[in-house]
């Protein structure tokens, strides 16, 4: 699996993805991102 931690850290730095878990799967994080963005 790809390492999403740098991306997660970036989103956290702009206070977008506070609820996304850096240890979560890409699918889980993608779902959380879509939820937050209203997609």
- Report the alpha-carbon distance of residue 23 to residue 25 in Å, rounded: 7
Structural domains counted in the chain: 1
pLDDT at residue 22, rounded to an integer = 64
Quick check: 29 and 21 in contact, CB under 8 A? yes
pLDDT tens for each residue of 1-39:
677 777 777 776 766 655 565 666 778 778 877 888 887
* Six-digit token string for 36: 């937050």
- pTM of the full predicted structure? 0.39
Cα gap 37→2, rounded to integer Å: 22
Domain housing 31:
5-37
């Amino acid at each position: 699996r790809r390492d999403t931690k740098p991306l997660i850290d970036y989103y956290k730095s702009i206070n977008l993805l506070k609820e996304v878990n850096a240890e979560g799967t890409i699918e889980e994080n993608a779902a959380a991102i879509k939820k937050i963005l209203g997609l």
